[in-house]
Amino acid sequence: MEAHNSSEPPLEQTVITLRKNQSPEISDDGRNHRPAETLLIPEDEESREFMVLPMIDISRLSFEAGHAERTECEEEIAEAARHWGFFQVVNHGIPTQVIEQMTVEQKKAFRQPFEVKEAGGGKLQNRQASSYRWGNPAAKCLRQMFWSEEFRIPTGDIYGIEDQSLRSAMEMYATAVTVLAEKIAGVLAGNLGTGGSYFRENCTVRTCHLRLNRYPPCPFSAEVFGIVPHTDSDFLTIVCQDAVGGLQLMKDDGCWVSVSPNPNALVINIGDMLEAWSNGAYKSARHRVITSLEEERFSIAFFYCPKSETVIRSCISPAIYRDFSFREYQLQVQKDVRSTGDKVGLKRFLV
List C-alpha distances in Å: 143 to 31, 133, 220.
17, 18, 12
Identify whether 111 is a catalytic site residue: no
60: how many CB neighbours lie within 10 A of its CB? Answer: 17
User: Quick check: 261 and 241 in contact, CB under 8 A?
Assistant: yes
Q: Of 111, 297, 322, 348, which is the active-site residue?
A: 297
Q: Among residues 147, 140, 315, 303, which one has the least CA distance to residue 232?
A: 303
User: Quick check: 120 and 161 in contact, CB under 8 A?
Assistant: no
- Based on DSSP, count helices (H) and strands (E) in the chain, helices before strands: 9, 15
Task: Name 222's Cβ contacts closer than 8 Å, sequence gap at least 6.
Answer: 39, 40, 41, 43, 46
- State the Cα torsion 268-272-277-279 to the nearest 10°: 100
* CA separation for the pair 140, 22 (Å, rounded): 9
The one-character DSSP state at 276 is: H
Q: What positions carry a catalytic annotation?
A: 297
